Structure 1
C-alpha cells in the first residue's frame, strides 16, 4: 500500500519569509507543484513598498513582474527564479529582496526592458549569478521556452504547475555562459527606462 505524503507547505520552503513580508503578489500559482517536495510561484514579487498612509493598502513602488520560481521543502535557497524588470538597475532590489534565499548554485534569470536586444550577460551579485537578458518574446514564459528549447505545444496540455515544473527542470540544467559584467558595468550599458504609461488610452 502506498502512503501519500502531505503536500509541501509554503512555510517549509525558502518562500516563507517572502510570504510573511507580503511580497508574493497577484499569484497565478502559489501552491505545491507535481514534483514531490516542490512549491511553485507565478506572480509578482514586491521589491519596494510604498509608505503606508494609516490603514490604506498601497501598491508597491517597485515589483519584479511575471515571476516564475520554485522552492523545495526543507531547503533555505531558491533553486530557480526568473522575472521581468523595467530597468536593469532593479537587479540590486531583486538580489536584496531575495537576500538569504539566493545561492551560488541557483539559476536566476532576469529579463530587462532596457538592455541591448543583441546582448546577454551574467552578473554576479550578493554571492549569486544572474543571467540578464533582453525581452524579445514579450513574456517571460515565452522567453524561457525559447532560451531552454522547450516546445510550447508539448506543454500546452499541462496545467500551470506542470508548465512551471517543465521550465524549472530545464532551467536547473541550463549551463550556457555569457559575458560576465559587474552590476556597475551593467548600469553604464543600460538604455533609458521606458515610460510604461505612454500611449495608454486615457
Structure 2
C-alpha cells in the first residue's frame, strides 16, 4: 500500500522517483500528503539489476498532494540548470496542471531576473538562486516568518507553506521555455570548491 494512498504522489512513488526523503507521508491536515527530498528526473541505464543513482535530480523538493485529487497543487525545488525544466515536466506528466503553484529555483539564470514560464500545461515561477536553500528562498518569497514555523513539525510546516503559496499571485515577466534556454548561463559544477 502506498504511503500516499489515492493522491497524485502515489504515481511518483510507484515510479521510484522519490529519493532521500526528509519527510514522506501525511501532513497535519486530514487527507493531505507531503514529500521533502529529491525527485528523480532521468534514470541511469540499469545493468544486470545494478541500482544506479539517477542521472538528473530535482533537489530540495517540497511537494503536496491531496487524497482523491489527480494532480499536485504545489511543488518547489532547486534545479542545477533551467533546462532541467523539460525532464521535470516529463517526469511529473499528468500530475501537474494549470491550477498548481510550481516554484523553481535555478542556479544558472541571472540573479536579477524572475520569470513565469508556461510549459507542459502548467505555469512555473522561475527564480534565481546562488548560495541559499530553496526552502529559505521560498519563505522569503512568500513572506513567511521563520519563527512562525519553528514549533511546527515538518508536515505542518509543509501545510503552512502550501496554504500561503496557493494564495501567492505575482506577475513576473512571461517567457517561453525556448527563450529561457537562450538566456540561461553555464551550468556550474556543484562539487567545485569543496574540500577533499
**Which TM-score bucket, shorter chain as reference?**
over 0.9
TM-score by length of 2: 0.97
Instruction: Indicate which of 156, 174, 180 corresponds to 1:180.
Output: 174
Cα separation, partners in 2 of 1:9 and 1:57, compared to 1, 3 Å: closer
Match of 2:144 in 1: 150
Report the alpha carbon displacement of residue 201 of structure 1 after superposing the two structures with TM: 2.4
Match of 1:3 in 2: none
Q: Residues 130-145 of structure 1: matches in 2 within 5 Å?
A: 130-136=124-130, 138-145=132-139
Unaligned segments of structure 2, at least 5 residues: none
Match of 1:5 in 2: none
Residue range with higher mean Cα deviation, 51-60 or 184-193: 51-60
Give the secondary structure class of the aligned counterpart of 1:84: strand
Query: Over the residues paired in the alignment, what is the CA RMSD in angstroms?
Result: 1.2
Give the secondary structure class of the aligned counterpart of 2:164: helix
Give the secondary structure class of the aligned counterpart of 1:67: strand
Unaligned segments of structure 1, at least 5 residues: 1-7
Runs of 4+ with >4 A deviation? none
Match of 2:66 in 1: 72
Residue range with higher mean Cα deviation, 66-75 or 129-138: 129-138
- Determine whether 1:116 maps to 2:107: no
Counterpart-to-counterpart distance in 2, 1:140 and 1:201:
23
TM-score by length of 1: 0.94
Counterpart-to-counterpart distance in 2, 1:45 and 1:196:
17
- Determine whether 1:23 maps to 2:17: yes
Counterpart-to-counterpart distance in 1, 2:109 and 2:136:
18
- Determine whether 1:167 maps to 2:166: no
Contact 1:136 1:143 in 2 (8 A): no
Instruction: Indicate which of 120, 142, 167 corresponds to 1:126.
Output: 120
Q: Render the CA deviation track for 1:19-63: whole Å, top value 9, x for unaligned.
A: 011000100111100111100000000000101121211110000
Contact 2:3 2:10 in 1 (8 A): no
- Determine whether 1:81 maps to 2:69: no
Pairs aligned (count): 195
Counterpart-to-counterpart distance in 2, 1:85 and 1:175:
22
Contact 1:65 1:83 in 2 (8 A): yes
Contact 1:24 1:44 in 2 (8 A): yes
Match of 1:54 in 2: 48
